[in-house]
Amino acid sequence: MTARSALLAFGLAIAGPGFAVPAQAADAKRGADLGYTCQGCHGIENYKNPFPVYSVPKLGGQHADYLVVALKAYASQERAHPTMHSHAATMSERDMEDVAVYLAGQELTPIGHAVGTAPKASHTCAACHGNDGIGILPEYPNLNGQHEDYLVQALKAYGSGQRKNAVMAGMTAALTNEDIEALARYYAAQEPALCSTKDTRDTGRCKD
Ligand code: HEC
Ligand code: HEC
């Protein structure tokens, strides 16, 4: 029994009848079937979004909870992307949870320090994404080793309204293009790096 399922079982035991039943633990095996089509883009290293051109984000080693947040945002169009919308719109919450644990694979083990010198603009980011890019809550994305051009695209998407997120809109409002480039370069260089889902499919984790 994993720590999470033990906690869920404990929750059930103390909740007793009449209380809401906690959600079932996600099922990575079921996620593997659902995730087959996702590998066509996320499982190919350095695959590109066609227009505008930027790398398809790495999902291996990402927080599974964040992947669910992202899929819900595509479904509701809070986050505009036609391909991802058509995938997410047909998924139930359970589908999203199962596919997320499968695609994320094993949690990354932090190395305990940042790589290189943090740009000044990153000081406010560390409160949520850590100095090493590791999201401090499961709903906060890991940025470590993510594709640099995807990070630039994501930071600009909050400013343009393509991604509607109140927190990140506020965080990016005052950033210059130079800040965005420095931040993306810095986080893309952090270790351990996220990976393509080909690695998580083959090994269950990002390769060293
Ligand atoms: C045709 C290529 C393609 C396929 C197939 C595809 N994706 Fe994506 N996915 C993308 C692109 C491109 C993005 C980045 C979109 C953006 O800029 O928001 C993305 C983004 C995501 C994100 C957000 C990651 C982040 O860091 O915020 C998640 C989660 C995701 N995809 C999950 C899936 C799942 C689950 C499937 C299968 C059901 C899937 N994708 C299939 C191309 C694809
Ligand atoms: C108060 C917490 C908080 C702070 C501070 C913060 N972020 Fe975020 N960040 C988030 C959350 C939550 C999300 C997910 C938002 C969403 O769903 O689009 C996010 C998303 C992102 C993403 C998108 C990742 C992906 O995979 O698509 C990037 C890039 C990012 N943040 C960079 C930064 C940078 C750079 C800073 C500092 C300038 C910063 N963040 C400050 C909470 C924070």
Q: What is the pLDDT of residues 56-72, one digit of tens each?
A: 999 999 999 999 999 99
Residue with CA nearest ligand 2 atom 41: 125
Q: Could you tell me the pTM of the whole model?
A: 0.92
Contacts of 149 by beta carbon, 8 Å cutoff, 6+ apart: 54, 55, 184
Work out the average pLDDT over 6-19: 43
Of 107, 132, 105, 110, which is closest to residue 42 (Cα–Cα)?
Answer: 105
Residues 142-186: tens digit of each pLDDT: 999 999 999 999 999 999 999 999 999 999 999 999 999 999 999
User: Is residue 112 over pLDDT 90?
Assistant: yes
For the chain, the average pLDDT equals 91
Q: Determine the atom of ligand 1 nearest the C-alpha atom of 154.
A: 17
Work out the average pLDDT over 177-205: 96
Strands (E), the chain: 48-49, 54-55
Query: In a mutational test of the pocket of ligand 1, which residue from 41, 90, 144 has the highest number of ligand atoms less than 8 Å from its CB?
Result: 41
**What is the percent of the chain with per-residue pLDDT over 70, rounded to a whole number?**
88
CATH number for the domain formed by residue range(s) 26-203: 1.10.760.10
Write out the two tokens for 75.
């479904």
67 lines ligand 1 (CB under 6 A): yes
Q: How far is the C-alpha of 143 from the C-alpha of 137, rounded, in Å?
A: 13
Q: Where are the domains of the chain?
A: 26-203
71 lines ligand 1 (CB under 6 A): yes
Q: Determine the atom of ligand 1 nearest the C-alpha atom of 49.
A: 12
